Structure 1
Amino acid sequence: MPKLIFVNLPVTDLPRSVAFYEAVGAKMNPMFSDQTAACMVFSETIHAMLLTHEKWATFTDRAIPDAHKTAQVLLCLSEDSREAVDAVVERATEAGGQADPSAQQDYGFMYGRSYADPDGHIWEVMWMDPEAAAQGPEGFASQVGGG
C-alpha cells in the first residue's frame, strides 16, 4: 500500500469549507466525514481532513492560530500544466479564496501560484516540465542560473 497523507486543517465553517475544496477539485469521502469533520480527497494518496474547531480540540490542546495572520505550513499540490495551475487558482478565487497570497513563480520550466482558503490556509499549486524534472537538482540549477 502506498503511503497516504492526511493534512488536518481547522475550519470555522465546515459546509463552506467543503464547498470550497470541492470547487478546487477535491471530492468528499462520506465514509470519513460527519458534522464535525470532512475528508476531502485530492488523489488516492492525498487527503485534507477539515475539522471544526471543536473536533480539532480533541486532537491537541494547542491554540489554533489565525491563518489569515500567521503561517505554520505551506501546502503544495502539482498540476499537469501551467493552464491547470491558473485554472485551480481561478476556481479557488471564485469559491471565496484569495488568489496569490504568496508571490507567483515562473522559471520557465517550473510555474507556481497559490491560493488561501476561506480560513487563510495557503495552498501552492505548481507545474514542472517533465523533462526538467527528469534532470534533477543539477538541471534545475542550470535553468535558474545557479549552475
Structure 2
Amino acid sequence: MNKLIFVNLPVTDLARSVAFYEAVGATMNPMFSDETAACMDFSDTIHAMLLTHEKFSSFTDRAIPDAHKTAQVLICVSEDSREGVDGVIARAGSAGGQADPNPKQDYGFMYGRSYADPDGHIWEIMWMDPEAAAQGPEAFVAQMGGA
C-alpha cells in the first residue's frame, strides 16, 4: 500500500473551508467527515483534514496559531504543468483565498506559486520539468546558477 498523507488544518468556519478546497480541486470524503471535520481528497494519497478549532485542540495541547500572522508549515503539492499551477492559483483567488502571498518562483525547469486559504494556511503549487528531474540534483544546481 502506498503511504498516505493527511495534513491536519485548524479552520474557523468548516463549511467555508470545504467550499474553498472544493473550488481549488479537492473533493470531500464523507467517510472521514462530520460536523467537526472534513477530509478533503486531492488524490488517492494526499488529503487535508479540515478540523474545527475544538476538534483540532483535542489532538494537541499546543495553541493554534493565527496562520495569517505566523507560519508553521508550507505545504507543497505538484501539478502536471505550469498552466495547472496558474489554474489552481486563479481558482484559489476567486474562491476567497489569497493568490501569491509569497513571490512566484520561476527557474525555467521548475515553476511555483502559492495561495493562502481563508484561514491563512499557505499551499505552494509547483511544476517541475520531468526531464530536468530525471537529470538529478547536479542539474538543478547548474540550472539555478550554483556551483
What is the TM-score of this pair, normalised by structure 2? Answer: 0.99
Which residue is 1:93 aligned to?
Answer: 93
Structure 2: distance between partners of 1:55 and 1:42: 22
SS at match of 1:123: strand
Gap runs ≥5 in structure 2: none
Question: Given residue 87 of structure 1, which amino acid in structure 2 is its aligned partner?
Answer: G
1:65-92 residue CA offsets vs partner (Å, 9 max, x unmatched): 0000000000000000000100000000
- In the TM superposition, residue 57 of structure 1 has moved relative to its aligned partner by 1.1
1:134 and 2:134 matched: yes
Quote the residue 1:17 is aligned against: 17
CA drift at 1:6 = 0.3
Q: CA deviation at 1:136?
A: 1.2
Per-residue deviation, 1:61: 1.2
Q: State the match for 1:56 in structure 2.
A: 56
1:11-90 equivalences under 5 Å are 11-90=11-90
* Aligned residue type for 1:47: H
CA distance in 1, matches of 2:136, 2:129: 11
Unaligned stretches of 5+ residues in structure 1: none
CA–CA distance in structure 2, aligned partners of residues 57 and 77 of structure 1:
26
- Equivalent in the alignment of 1:124: 124
Question: What is the aligned residue count?
Answer: 147
CA distance in structure 2 between the partners assigned to 1:33 and 1:77 by the alignment:
22
Q: Please state how far the C-alpha of 1:19 moved relative to its aligned partner.
A: 0.3
The equivalent of 2:145 in structure 1 is 145
The alignment yields a C-alpha RMSD, in angstroms, of: 0.5
2: CA distance, partners of 1:32 / 1:25 = 18
- The list of structure 1 runs, each at least 4 consecutive aligned residues, that deviate by more than 6 angstroms after superposition, is none
Identity value in percent: 82
Give TM-score scaled by structure 1 length: 0.99
Q: Secondary structure at the match of 1:114?
A: strand
1:81 maps to amino acid:
S
